[in-house]
Amino acid sequence: MDELRIGTLFTVLLPLLLVAEAVVGVLLWRASGHPMPAFLQNPFGTGVRHLGAEFRAVGIWLAVTAATVWIGFLIAFVGVHILFFTIGSAAALAGLVLSVAILGAVPIVWAFVLFRRRHR
C-alpha cells in the first residue's frame, strides 16, 4: 500500500469507523437491558453548580462539536466533488458555500441543544 492510500485510510475511514463502532456499542448496551454507567446517565449533574460541572459541559460540547464537524466535513468533501464532476463548478461553489454555512452553525446548534438539556 502506498502512502497516499494509507493517508486516505486514516483520514477518511478511521473516524467513520470509530463513530460507527461507538454508536453500535451504545445501541447494543441499551438493547441488552443493562443500566448505563452512572456518569453516562446524567452527564450534566442536575442541580450541581461547581466548576467541575462547567468543565464537563464544555468538554461534552467540544467533543460533540468536533465529531460533528469532522464527519460533516468528510460528507461535504465528497458531496462537493460529486457536484463538481457531475454538474459543474457553479454547483460545486454553491455546495461549498452551503457546507461552510452548515459547518459554521454546528457549534452554535450544539451549544443551544446542550444548554437546553442542561437547564431542563
Do 2 and 31 fall within a single domain? yes
Give pLDDT, residue 2: 66
Cell numbers for 84, please give them.
463538481
> pLDDT at residue 22 above 80?
no
Listing DSSP states for 69-107 in one string gives HHHHHHHHHHHHHHHHHHT-HHHHHHHHHHHHHHHHHHH
Do 21 and 54 fall within a single domain? no
Do 17 and 50 fall within a single domain? no
Instruction: Calculate what percentage of the chain has a pLDDT beyond 90.
Output: 22
Angstrom distance (rounded) from CA 32 to CA 41: 16
> pLDDT at residue 93 above 70?
yes
> pLDDT at residue 5 above 80?
no
pTM given for the model = 0.61
The stretch 16-32 carries a mean pLDDT of 76
Do 107 and 61 fall within a single domain? yes
Question: Residue 101 — pLDDT band, cuts 50, 70, 90?
Answer: very high
Sorted by sequence, the CB contacts under 8 Å of residue 42 that are 6+ apart come out as none
Q: Which residue has the higher pLDDT, 56 or 111?
A: 111
